[in-house]
Amino acid sequence: MSRILAISDIHGHVEGVKLLLQKAGYQPQTDKLFFVGDYIDKDPRTWKSLDYIRERVQQGAKAIIGNLEMWYLETIHEKGSSYRQEIGEWLQTLPTYLTDEDYIFVHAGMRPHIPISEQTREDLLTIRKDFWGAEQTLPQKIIFGHTPTHVMGAKEGEIWCQPGRIGIDTGAKHHIRLTLVDLTNRCAYSCSTEKQRLYQDTRLSSW
């Protein structure tokens, strides 16, 4: 059975992504995997994450651009090697949102009451409380990252669920947790990103 999986705000934690995909039994031939932006940080040690994401996309996964990939495009990739140029050209091909069946995948969210096709790139990549703090009704459920879920009121390290919206940035950047959601089966695989327990304390939860 094909599943719809999603993960966002990796911020360089590729080994955590590999672990969670293994725990979920990811099958690239049948499962649909969506990467929802912010694969890197401004720390150059995280930039190799882009290679991993690109490889997964070549194998059938889908990815959108996040605000940190846009930062990379605007400040880094023009300065230097052909490798950076190649990565930059690939990043430029990534869309700001994707849709699939009952879902819209977007990095940060959407400005309320504006069709997805009319949203600005800035809002799609950077909006925060104007999106998750407002009510809106859409025919599709919005899957987003960017704002750590505990900031929105979820328990630390757990996803944020509201009618029509699911926030999946569980704070990997902030040494909390990295989470892969299985939207088909309404469950989530996560691991710690605390320095002392890095990629340990794996959990399977449902909502």
- Supply the CATH number for residue 117's domain: 3.60.21.10
What average pLDDT does range 16-25 have in this prediction?
Answer: 98
Per the CB < 8 A criterion, the answer to whether 199 and 191 are in contact is yes
Per the CB < 8 A criterion, the answer to whether 38 and 124 are in contact is no
Give me the helix-helix angle, 67-75 and 82-91, nearest 10°.
140
Please give the helix or strand (H or E) that residue 100 lies within, else none. Answer: strand 97-100
Taking CA atoms, 118 is separated from 23, 113, 114, 121, 150, in Å, by: 38, 10, 6, 9, 29
Counting the structural domains of the chain, the total is 1
Please give the helix or strand (H or E) that residue 166 lies within, else none. Answer: strand 165-167
Question: Could you give the angle at the alpha carbon of 95 between the alpha carbons of 91 and 97, nearest 5°?
Answer: 135
Full residue range of the structural domain in which residue 101 is found: 3-206
Flag whether the pTM goes above 0.75: yes
**161-198 per-position pLDDT tens digit:** 999 999 999 999 999 999 999 999 999 999 999 999 99
Whether 102 has a pLDDT exceeding 80, the answer reads yes
- Proportion of the chain above pLDDT 70, given as a percent: 99
Q: What is the DSSP letter of 159?
A: -
